[in-house]
Amino acid sequence: MMTAHIDWFGRVLTTAIQLYFRQGCEYSLIEEVAPPADKWLEEVTGQEAITFNERVVVLLALMPHICPQGLDIFFVQNKDFDRQYTEFGGWKGLSHSGFLPTGETAAFILAGEDMEKRKEVTKLFSREHWLYTKGILRIEGAGEGEPFLSGQLRPAEEFLSRVLLDAEYKPDYSTGFPAKRVTTALEWEDMVLDYHTREALDEINTWITSHRTIMDDWGLGRFLKPGYRALFYGPPGTGKTLAATLLGKRNGMDVYRVDLSMIVSKYIGETEKNLARVFDMAEHRDWILFFDEADALFGKRTTTNTSNDRHANQEVAYLLQRIEDFPGTVILATNLRSNIDEAFSRRFQSVIYFPMPDRELRTELWQKMLPKKWLGKQREELLSAAAETELSGGSITNVVRRCALYLTATGKKTLDKQTLEDALRKEEMKM
């Protein structure tokens, strides 16, 4: 089915060239070149009704990836000026030797010299058009002051993955995407949390499952901002990252962790650019964005005594705006709430404290983590001894790991009190 669309696009392109240069042609308009009758493009885009212009633009964006030689016709030289035709557009890749299309290329094929048609082509690349909102393609890279249509015509990675691999695209951390997908083998029921913390998390879960009813069916979308914003705070290892990850897992959503301390740049504009990549990709996907170490950017605002101060405050303002406009779920995490400016805290729907577990919760954590085959007849004594030490859930996992390494090295099958106490002491020394 893809082959039929490639062939069709080739005929459209040939027709556009022939008509523009007034060569012999069997068609008087490119629209007369009937597209394939199958629904391949509708299936891969998820769009039921696709216009002729939209179909051409999508195929044009795909051609370098599925049939690069199909665009070689654009390398023809303008003999009057000994260069390529300006109206063809195109941009030069770093390693790809073929023709890479721009918005100008699309305008040439669909509009030629017709200014009114050119306006219609430009509308295809607006942020409100389904080609953008559904994550199909976009124009990017036009420099400041340069024509909008000179930007690179790029299919989205998710869309390319569906076309080329028949698989859902899941980006991972890279220089171009400063966020990492986090997963867990645990389930919602495995979380051991204070009652109030769990109750607050249930509220977020209710929003995720019912926000369409709240916003659309009840008409509250007129008054409420889209999306949900939460702040998690508490000591390290108390379950902030795990809670965010399990909220996603429970609702079939990917969770992407953004470490702000890693992407804040001293260079003007770079932090905003790094954050924009994440938000642009997440905007129309069913993701939870989890910003770890949020105080790296959301700390106490500084007075604007220097240009650096103004720059830092601009970064904060940019992130705040993107978070407020984001239609999905955003969670920020910090170890100390006092590190977060109060003015920012008021913008969150939930501010949730993750306390150190008390003795009862520590006992439950130990019961869940220690393999039953390790405990033998000393079960109650070992659990009681373990729960005496005030540790976070994260620290408890470290102790369990250390015990596992000891049993493996010694060949022993059960855990004794001395080994457990030694492991606990070593963990306390780190604190």
Q: Where in the chain is the domain with CATH 1.10.8?
A: 359-430
Q: Which residues have a Cβ under 8 Å from the Cβ of 263 and sit 6 or more positions away?
A: 178, 271, 274, 275
- Give the C-alpha separation, 427 to 431, whole Å: 7
The CATH class of 180-353 is: alpha beta
Closest by CA position to 136, among listed 168, 106, 116, 160: 160
Bridge partners for 330 per DSSP: 229, 289
The CATH class of 359-430 is: mainly alpha
Q: Which residues have a Cβ under 8 Å from the Cβ of 280 and sit 6 or more positions away?
A: none
245-294 tens-digit pLDDT: 999 999 999 999 987 766 666 555 677 777 887 888 888 788 999 998 88
The helix or strand, by DSSP H or E, that contains position 153, with its residue range, turns out to be strand 152-155
In the chain, which residues have pLDDT < 70?
A: 175, 261-269, 298-313, 315, 343
Six-digit token string for 214: 């709240």
pLDDT of residue 266: 58
Q: Where in the chain is the domain with CATH 3.40.50.300?
A: 180-353
pLDDT of residue 314: 72
**Is the four-CA dihedral 13, 19, 21, 25 of positive or negative sign?**
positive
Asked whether 63 and 101 are in contact (CB, 8 A), the reply is: yes
Question: What string of DSSP letters covers 179-207?
Answer: -EEE--S--GGG----HHHHHHHHHHHHH
324-376 tens-digit pLDDT: 888 999 999 998 888 777 767 778 999 999 999 999 999 999 999 999 999 88
